[in-house]
Structure 1
Amino acid sequence: MKHRKPLLLLVPALLCATANGAASAASTPNREDPDARAARVEAQMTDAERMSLLVGVMPILIPGLKADIPPGVPASAGHVPGVPRLGVPPQLATDASLGVTNPNLARPGDVATAMPSGLALASSFDPGLAARIGASVAQEARAKGFNVLLAGGLNLARDPRNGRNFEYLGEDPLLAGVLAGHSIQAIQAQGVVSTIKHFALNGQETLRFYADSVIAEAPLRESELLAFQIGIEIGQPGSVMCAYNLVNGHKACGNDHLLNTVLKRDWGYKGWVMSDWGAVSGAEFFNAGLDQQAGSQLDRQVWFGKPLQALIDAGKVSKARVSDAVRRMLRSFYALGIEAPYAPQPIDYKANAQVALAAARAGLVLLKNEGGLLPLDKSAKSILVVGGNADFGVLSGGGSSQVFSSNGKPRFVGGDVDDPSTTFTRQVYTPSAPLAALKAALPQAKFRFNSGYSPDTAAAYAAQADLVIVFATKWEGEAYDSGSLALPQGQDELIAKLAAANKHVVVVLETGNPVTMPWLRDVRAVVQAWYPGQEGAQAIAEALTGAINPSGRLPVSFPQSITQWPRAALPGIGLVERTPVKVVYDEGADAGYRWFAKTGLAPLFPFGHGLSYTRFEHSAASVRHDKGVVELGLTVSNAGAMSGADVPQAYLVARNGQKLQRLVGFQKVALEPGQRQTVSLRVDSRLLADYREEKGLGGWTVPAGTYTFAFGKSAADLGAPVEVKLPAQRLKP
């Protein structure tokens, strides 16, 4: 790929405007304890000033919706006025984890680095990479004037049809929590508040405002809530964003148990809880633990305005509760040194593109490589590239996470930026082109491109080629779920016909979820590229040609068919809007790979699976404990001829003879040929424990007995077990 010249831009001052049009750099951070300072400043506020911080708007003109948008506030996700006389800056929020968004290009000419999808990051199993991405996105956000990043999405993938899974970090609570935590930590190190979201059990987009996620307390604590708990402990996010859905009969944003009991009491969370946009349906949500109504024009009314004031006047909401909400916001800002609005700063898009490239490389998963077809033999004379708009760019996921990349104008399918009604339904392809990147990587080969529109025509060309690379895409997006796991628009038929015409077919998947593969036996190689971000074309070409060695591992299980899943029918699909539906998670904490282990079913590809161009060996597995804290050890060797990275995964596979499966540790290890490294992992005791409720109070209990662990190359490819006897333990909630 031809390298672009550095693009160093000064963000227009408009993007950093405050409510009164001022823009200034943050001052030197105050060294006063943030809790004490928040209390001191809040005590000086008038009641009107306190109330003003409880309501935010989305500063975008939306047809049919009224909103009080102060002059000079840029189009963005959210705005909350500050308190100028006390030096409290406004809150200016933007989406999010995959890059700084510009909703429908409402800020003309404002672009950002488009990072790969959350599942691509999760495939890296690399907390350091999560931090690099978080820091880069936060730097761009701050340079554009934003001080709140609506990042930290980590809802566990409980259904492979969920339209927003691509934003999140897979099906395992440890992996998701660790990656989210390190991303948030790096974001906030840049002086930008990060959220963690969507709290909790936002497991599907179908009827997302009316779906009731039903699950018992213990498995909820052991799965989704454990992921959030780990993420909060590591990242210390300034805000938690609650979800649209209900949890056990109560709206997540008005769920007293989730917000007051779990988050604020049991976990001692010090930041503030903001709503998702349009998730509030009553002023009583305030007493249930919600501190701020965000994007208020998307709700039926401004509940935290006059209706909340009426409850305060009636004595149903205490003034102490109002003070608490305000102090939580101030505390989060002061802890990060946010003292004033941010002035515009230059952005080195070239440097950030290198982070996007590193993430795209690390997120590629080599699923199949029969006969070592990959990396491609440079002697291939003619190569047919088919489908996926590969002559233009790579696919991205849709919705509020959509980034308009810094490397060129996108291609829209099924809509246009000039038509806001298509914002959540159009497909967006980000340059640059995989076809061009492949041509650059293999200059001696003759390439031909076919759109794949006609499978028979594509097959006729395939019969004349030495090799076929087919790009298969499946668009996923916010507000919509997939009806099935099949590739859409006849792509399964296309791949089958290409494979019948040519015995050397490579499939590159750009999808936001697992897909079924009825053609798997007939193709030689399969690469899962996810939505690889703006530098994805180069990463794909490098992986196919051996310039890099794929090291990604699946963060979600790929079922052979949806009938292997606990819910073969997607709850509520096809029903009219506003229809209540219960989504019953009978599998409890045994979701994803744990479900396959429990049922004995064999997935198409297991959690943690990923091939390499070299060969890794595991040896000398060990286990010990120090006062009940388990430490696992393993030696990893590169026994092949190419440098690469392995991801040894440690699983708890039995407890007192009872079979189970839980990921308890992982580490990415880069090795040169012949090199070896010892891996040491300390296990979070909660991953060994059960959550139990006793007399209204809960906690983690580690039963005494024998614990069996195994290292593996995936959840289904485990080495010899090792055992250790542990004493009983009782841990805090």
Structure 2
Amino acid sequence: MKIKPILVFMAVVSSSLAIAQQPIYLDRTRPVEDRVEDALSRMTLEEKVRLCHAQAKFSSAGVPRLGIPEIWMSDGPHGVRAEINWNDWGYSKWKNDSITAFPALTALAATWNRDMSALYGKSIGEEARYREKDVLLGPGVNIYRTPLNGRNFEYMGEDPYLAGEMAVPYVKEIQKNGVAACVKHFALNNQEIWRGSVDVVLSDRALYEIYLPAFRKTVQEGGAWTIMGAYNRIWNQHCCHNNRLLNRILRDEWGFDGVVITDWGGAHDTKEAALNGLDIEMGSFTNGLTSESEFTFDDYYLGKPYLKMIRNGEVPEATVDAKARNILRLIFRTAMNTDKPFGSVASPEHYAAAKEIGDEAIVLLKNNGILPLNPSKYRKVLVVGENAIRLLNEGGGSSELKVKDMFSPLDAIRAVYGDGVKYTEGYRSGRPRYGKEDKISGRILDSLRIQAVDMARDADVVIYIGGLNKNAFQDCESTDRREYNLPWGQDRIIEELVAVNPNVIVANITGNAYAMPWLNKVPAVIQSWYLGTMIGPSMADVISGKVNPSGKLPFSFPKRIEDNGAHYYGERSYPGIENTGDGPRQEYLDDIFVGYRWHDTKKIPAMFPFGYGLSYTAFKYGKPSLSADEIAAGGSLTLTVPVTNIGSVEGKEVVQLYISDEKSSLPRPLKELKGFRKVNLKPGQTEEVSFTVTADDLKFFDDKTHEWVAEPGAFKALIGSSSTDIRVKSRFKYRQ
């Protein structure tokens, strides 16, 4: 059939008119701010308010009348959580929501490798996109203050520079998938005990120098699209609607243009939520994990009560306009972004990424030469420990994952060492249960220990794989650890194993530091982490030497809990003191001296210091050179040091730069991390490692003037393999 020209002409004209009449907010060629303002101008007050609170456990509303879609969120940060029911905490039991479990963020920090962070963000972003999520609730960048914090495994260690540098590539790469990173928990969520009510008291110096820098980097350098408020209080006001934290610091000082989302159940007051910078309220009237509520979503603080306050003139309508602008901007960046890729899930590429990250995360803490463990030399291998077979993706709170595959350490060790590998539990811990724990009888624990020791007598080598797990009061959301020692009698098991067999390799899996009363008796210690799907192959390859360990500790391991700065001052400093009527109050008496800063300044040696990690090879640091002997205000200099692999195998070294201020008007740590680079070197190879030192690297925060200050004078650049293993030094001056 032949189409008449006149009909074709009319069709073209009609199509052109349709394009011309298209609302600005639907035109993705227009600037986002124009689209936001156009959409806002078309919305009713009720529609604006509806954007500001949940419509389901993990979703907030769009504007159906205008074709603006809802927002879908998912827990992270080391995997996309299984689907949760619309309005309860039960799993939906879908058949298509299994994913890759990536290493926990403590493991990512232990790689000290920005490329691994970028690979991580890209991979997990692809999985979130495939699952049609608009917001992934991570990364977590709260500072590791105490080894008892049950949620430390989700964070990136004790140093704000390391945490910020490792978080930025993660955020950038997630968001290239059209999925918003949600940086959490803003701020000072450094313990789980009393997390919903504790009021944190600290100096502005500690706030700005230690606890805020990683958040600031994710906003200003990473361009994070969302931030999650913390449960706790600061300055006697909850973080999720804290005026100073959200309005003055996050938006005014840092220029954040994204969305602030509560942690689930983190809102407590309608007027504060309206005025103090909160945008989306999620999970109110629950504990954020298990409990349910009789309230409907419209009853949330930012639901009907907020609408009523606006209509009554108690709060300005401009407050909801500001929230709606932020939320619309997020929707245009994510749910209405037609340029985002399709994503993928549980792919060979993602398994390879998880394996590579896990390989670089494992830290060799001690080795008398027994490692790497030669498969031809050791035929009868005994593996002891529940973590060799336990599904460590289960439990832990909101980071619990439903994996497609989980390759256990025991299976991977058997694949390397063959039929001579035997296994026994050694101890038993019970099921992961939120806020509760199974009680394992002493008779059962004695029986398992005795059996393990008996089997160890006949083994060539024992590989002990214990540590912590995701049970309550271990590495788990909503509870802190009760003790610094390993639970379930593991210290006694290790002591008795090494008493009957000197070849005991301790390869524990934890997200936290722990005591090692048996350290001097065992020949080797490996610190593994929750490495996700590929945990087994990564551990087996490091043990066998197929992979040369290159991880470095992202936090210090104190010898005793009392050696940690948060615990040194007693319960006022951790966990705080409960006051009648006002809730618990906690003082950060360790101030700016967190982690290695504390150990250095107080001259309390750590068992294993920050930045520490051994290798199967050795590295020599040559004489450093400076491009200049001083820095002027606003200027910089370049510091270069040659690093040589003087061993017999290829390996990776993390070269760390610390800066020391020789004289300051205010107390300062002896040194602070200001740079790091991970280099891969073949035997005999040398690489020139360079760092740029700027005036900003010399500054401290003066809380009297509320500004960052670099004082004229002498500084030292300290370059080494850990915070205590300084190999070379250079001296320079700063002048204004």
TM-score, normalized by length of structure 1? Answer: 0.86
CA RMSD of aligned residues (A): 2.4
User: CA separation in 2, counterparts of 1:531 and 1:189?
Assistant: 26
3-state SS in 1 of match to 2:640: strand
The equivalences for 1:113-262 within 5 A come to 113-262=100-249
Per mean C-alpha deviation after superposition, the further-off stretch among 119-128 and 685-694 is: 685-694
Report matched runs for 1:194-593 at 5 Å: 194-284=181-271, 285-298=273-286, 301-335=299-333, 338-339=336-337, 347-376=345-374, 378-391=376-389, 394=392, 398-407=396-405, 431-443=406-418, 446-453=420-427, 454-475=448-469, 476-568=475-567, 569=570, 571-572=574-575, 580-593=583-596
Task: Quote the Cα distance in structure 2 between the aligned partners of 1:91 and 1:286.
Answer: 20
Query: Match of 1:640, as an amino acid?
Result: G
Instruction: Provide closer, same or farther for how the CA distance between residues 207 and 680 of structure 1 changes in structure 2, counting only shifts above 3 A.
Output: same
Contact 1:179 1:231 in 2 (8 A): no
Mapped to 1, the partners of 2:616 and 2:489 lie a distance apart of 31
Q: Secondary structure at the match of 2:454?
A: helix
- Deviation, structure 1 residue 296: 3.4
Hey, what's the Cα distance between the residues in 2 that align with 1:28 and 1:39?
12
Deviation at 1:724, TM superposition (A): 1.2
How many Å separate the matches in 2 of 1:467 and 1:145? 48
Structure 2: gaps of 5 or more residues:
1-24, 85-89, 288-294, 428-447, 470-474
- C-alpha separation between the residues in 2 aligned to 1:470 and 1:40? 62
CA contact (8 A) 1:434 1:540 kept: yes
Alpha-carbon contact 1:467-1:505 (below 8 Å) kept = yes
Look up the SS of the partner of 2:221 in the other structure: helix
Give the Cα–Cα distance (whole angstroms) in 2 for the partners of residues 116 and 459 of structure 1: 31
Pairs aligned (count): 658
Q: Report Cα offsets for 1:471-502 as digits up to 9, x if no partner.
A: 11212110010011111000100000001111
What displacement does 1:302 show? 0.7
| CA displacement at 1:578 relative to structure 2 | 9.4
Alignment partner, residue 17 of structure 2? none
User: Residue 42 of structure 2 aligns with which residue?
Assistant: 44
Within the alignment, does 1:714 sit opposite 2:725 as a pair?
A: no
The one-character-per-residue Cα deviations of 1:618-648 (angstroms, maximum 9, x if unpaired) are: 1132344464324332211111111111001
Shift, 1:669, TM fit: 0.7
Letter in 2 for 1:722: S
Using the TM superposition, give the Cα deviation of residue 38 of structure 1 relative to its aligned residue in structure 2, in angstroms.
1.5
Distance in 2 between the 1:684 and 1:29 partners?
A: 43
Residue 680 (1) aligns with residue 690 (2): yes
Question: Partner residue of 2:94?
Answer: 108
Contact 1:152–1:180 (CA under 8 A) maintained in structure 2: yes
Give the 3-state SS of the residue equivalent to 2:539 in structure 1.
Answer: helix
Instruction: Describe the superposition over 1:654-681 as per-residue Cα deviations: whole angstroms up to 9, x where unpaired.
Output: 3337762210000111111111111122
Does the aligned pair in 1 maintain the 2:381–2:461 contact within 8 Å? yes
2:661 aligns to what? 654
What's the CA shift for 1:370?
1.2
Q: 3-state SS of the aligned residue for 1:361?
A: helix
Task: Give the deviation of 1:287 after TM superposition.
Answer: 0.4
Once the 2 structures are TM-superposed, how far is the Cα of residue 456 of structure 1 from its aligned partner?
A: 2.6
CA contact (8 A) 2:576 2:587 kept: no
User: Structure 1 residue 185: deviation in Å?
Assistant: 0.6
- SS of residue paired to 1:298: coil
User: Which position in structure 2 is the counterpart of 1:705?
Assistant: 713
Give the counterpart letter for 2:421 in structure 1.
F
2:379·2:417 contact (CA, 8 Å) conserved in 1? no
CA contact (8 A) 1:652 1:710 kept: yes
Aligned 8 A contact 1:365 1:529 in 2:
yes
1:71 aligns with none
* Residue 336 (structure 1) shift: 5.3
Amino acid paired to 2:118: A
**Which residue of structure 1 aligns with residue 639 of structure 2?**
632
SS in 2 for 1:371: coil
**Which residue in 2 is equivalent to 1:692?**
702
SS at match of 1:92: strand
Find 1:95's aligned residue among 75, 98, 104. Answer: 75
Q: Which residue of 2 aligns with 1:667?
A: 677
Q: Name the larger-Rg structure.
A: 2
The DSSP-based 3-state class of the residue aligned with 1:535 is: helix
Q: CA deviation at 1:346?
A: 5.5
Q: Distance in 2 between matches of 1:360 and 1:321?
A: 45
| Residue identity in the other structure for 2:718 | A
SS at match of 1:508: strand
Query: Equivalents in 1 of 2:340, 2:114: separation in Å?
Result: 28
Secondary structure at the counterpart of residue 659 of structure 2: strand
Separation in 2, partners of 1:577, 1:471: 44
Residue in structure 2 matching 1:609, options 598, 612, 615 = 612
Kept in 1: contact 2:134–2:335 (CA 8 A): no
Query: For 1:223, what is the secondary structure of its paired residue?
Result: helix
Q: What's the offset of the Cα at 1:525?
A: 0.6
Deviations along 1:119-142, whole A, 9 cap, x unmatched?
110000111111111111111111
User: How far, CA to CA, are the matches of 1:305 and 1:352 in structure 2?
Assistant: 40
2:577–2:584 Cα contact (<8 Å) kept: no
Measured in 1, the distance between the counterparts of 2:676 and 2:69 equals 41
Deviation track 1:320-344 (CA, whole Å, cap 9, x = no partner) reads 2211111112223334583479998
Residue number in structure 1 paired with 2:291: none
Q: Is the contact between residue 646 and residue 670 of structure 1 (CA under 8 Å) also seen in structure 2?
A: yes
For 2:167 and 2:577, the matched residues in 1 are separated by 33
Work out whether residues 238 and 333 of structure 1, in 8 Å CA contact, stay in contact via their aligned partners in 2.
Answer: no
User: Secondary structure of the residue that 1:432 maps to in structure 2?
Assistant: coil
Deviations 1:386-428 (A, max 9, x none): 1124246556661101111111xxxxxxxxxxxxxxxxxxxxx
Q: Which stretch shows the higher mean deviation, 377-386 or 251-260? A: 377-386
Quote the Cα distance in structure 2 between the aligned partners of 1:562 and 1:269.
38
What TM-score, normalized by structure 2, do the two folds share? 0.85
Deviations 1:254-278 (A, max 9, x none): 2111011100101111111111100
Mark the CA change 1:441 to 1:574 in structure 2 (over 3 Å): closer, same or farther. farther
Tell me the distance in 2 between the aligned counterparts of 1:704 and 1:337: 50
Instruction: Give secondary structure in 2 for the equivalent of 1:648.
Output: strand
8 A Cα contact 2:163 2:214, kept in partner: yes
Equivalence map 1:47-66=2 (5 Å)? 47-59=45-57
- The corresponding residue for 1:424 is none
Query: Is contact 1:655-1:706 (8 Å) kept?
Result: yes
Paired AA for residue 498 in structure 1:
L
Pair 699,295 (structure 1): closer, same or farther in 2 beyond 3 Å = same
AA aligned opposite 2:29: R
Does the 8 Å contact 2:49/2:306 carry over to 1?
Answer: no
User: Could you say if the C-alpha distance between residues 162 and 397 of structure 1 is closer, same or farther in structure 2, counting changes exceeding 3 Å?
Assistant: farther
Shift of 1:351: 2.0
Contact 1:652 1:662 in 2 (8 A): yes
